[in-house]
Structure 1
Amino acid sequence: MIDATPFNYPYDGNLNPAATALIVIDLQEDFLSETGYFALQGYDPSPLRAILPTVNALIKACRAAGMHIIHTRQGYRGDMADMTPYEKWRRAQSGLEGTDVLLRSAKGFQIVPEVDVQPADIIVDKTCNSGFTYTDFEHVLRARGITHLLFSGCTTDVCVHTTLREACDRNFQCLTISDACASGDQYAHAAALHMVTVEFGVFGALADSKAVLAGLAKLAEKSG
């Protein structure tokens, strides 16, 4: 088990690597670079970049344990055929009209090279904050028998939390890794982490990377 709040993860003590996936959300150039979407909104992307070593340590440990690694990327089609009038309006209000920011045809859509992505990893592309909306994410999880999800990535208060909430509603067992998530708004980041634990874990459990790595080490000892 992994030491977590408000209960240890998973609740029944059965941490099965084959049924568990580390979800790495939206660690893309457009969110982490100084010239991408996030920076153009006036946010400092440095807190997002700061989690990369932690995320990579988790990827390495989870991969070694036999867990699945699933990355998500957010962006629209290059021809914007999947963008509603409202989304185009918001894009214009944000000063992005005429740019290739958050378009799948652009470099900014790609996961930053610092993240350890391997050919065996799964990548899910999305247009919305949730990894479930208009994607095959849930189908992939069900097809592979994945029932337990470990959450990392950005941003804690938006794409991570939205995907987490929908995962909980679909009865996946969820753990958010506090220092493997980040936001440009530290108040929102802290609030989002706190919300995981209210009502005795209404959105699952919360742990830091140290606890997760320690739990995986114990799992390796047990299986060895």
Structure 2
Amino acid sequence: MVLILVLGVLLALAALAAYTFWGVLKIQTPTNGPSIKSESRRGTALLIIDVQADFTKETGSRKWDPDYLQSRLDQINALAELAKQKGWPIIAIRHVYQGWYTNFLVRLLGGGLGARGSNGLQMDPRVTAKPDLDIEKSKSDAFGEQELSAFLKTHQVDHLILTGLDGNACVKNTSIGALNRGYRVELCDPAILAYNQKAWELQKEALQEMGAAVSHDIVENAADAGAEKDPA
């Protein structure tokens, strides 16, 4: 009887572990979708990914270096101002975990960061961008939300400038989701945050091999181009 009970408990734990693994895999896997290559799109959009108060803390176990964080936020704000001048739509993407079990694990193991009901789900108040679209996502790839593809189609966007965090997670997987659909992906490196910088360097190389571009001076280049058109 005891043996049967022990086996039952072990089977239940194994099933729970398998379900947890499947759930994590589902959240972390980039998505696929219809290709836009046959469409005559020529627009650009700025994506600000997961720059939420929950994920931009300077204290606690998942804290950022204040100078590193502020420099990235400044670059995001500069890009948002450029997008406003150019007429590019700005899309704010915020991660909010879905499902009671996922939220239970996030609260138990992750300090509740990104869990439904957290006080830090909104954009970091230091981000001054006024988004044209605000999306909640529950997967690391923002293209898991149909609202994003629909908005980009309406605005005839084929070129995406990606910023935000984390470079090794949601930025990477959203980039892959975009590339899978035929978008031109441009990663603005000074506006992307990554806890593991060594891993991010490798991720950038991998994304470039897949077709993404990595830029370091989008704002500066735009300013230089403007100066050439309107010399003092």
Normalising by structure 2, report the TM-score. Answer: 0.72
Which position in structure 2 is the counterpart of 1:116? 128
Rg larger for: 2
**Residue deviations 1:8-36 (CA, integer Å, cap 9, x gap):** xxxxxxx95xx10011111001100246x
Residue ranges of structure 2 left out of the alignment (5+ in a row): 1-40
* 2:208 aligned partner, one-letter code: T
Q: How does 1:187-198 map to 2 (within 5 A)?
A: 187-198=198-209
Indicate which of 61, 65, 82 corresponds to 2:82. 61
Please tell me whether the aligned partners of residues 95 and 121 of structure 2 are also in contact (alpha carbons under 8 angstroms): yes
2:47 matched to which residue of 1? 23
Letter in 2 for 1:83: G
Letter of the structure 1 residue corresponding to residue 56 of structure 2: L
Q: Percent identity?
A: 23
Question: Offset of 1:89 from its aligned partner?
Answer: 6.2
Aligned-partner Cα distance in 2 for 1:221–1:172:
30
Q: Normalised by the size of structure 1, how large is the TM-score?
A: 0.74
Q: How many residue pairs are counted as aligned between the two chains?
A: 188
Partner of 1:94: 109
Aligned-partner residue type, residue 197 of structure 1: Q
Q: Which residue of 2 aligns with 1:157?
A: 168
Which one of the candidate residues 193, 197, 200 is aligned to 1:182? 193
The Cα shift of 1:93 comes to: 5.3
Backbone CA RMSD of aligned residues? 2.5
Q: Distance in 1 between matches of 2:158 and 2:62?
A: 34
**What is the deviation of 1:102?**
1.4
2:211 alignment counterpart: 203
**Within the alignment, does 1:75 sit opposite 2:96 as a pair?**
yes
Greater helix fraction, Structure 1 or Structure 2 = 2
Give 5+ residue unaligned stretches, structure 1: 1-14, 77-81
**1:92 to partner: Cα distance:** 5.5
Q: Provide the C-alpha distance between the structure 2 equivalents of 1:115 and 1:104, rounded to a whole number of angstroms.
A: 22
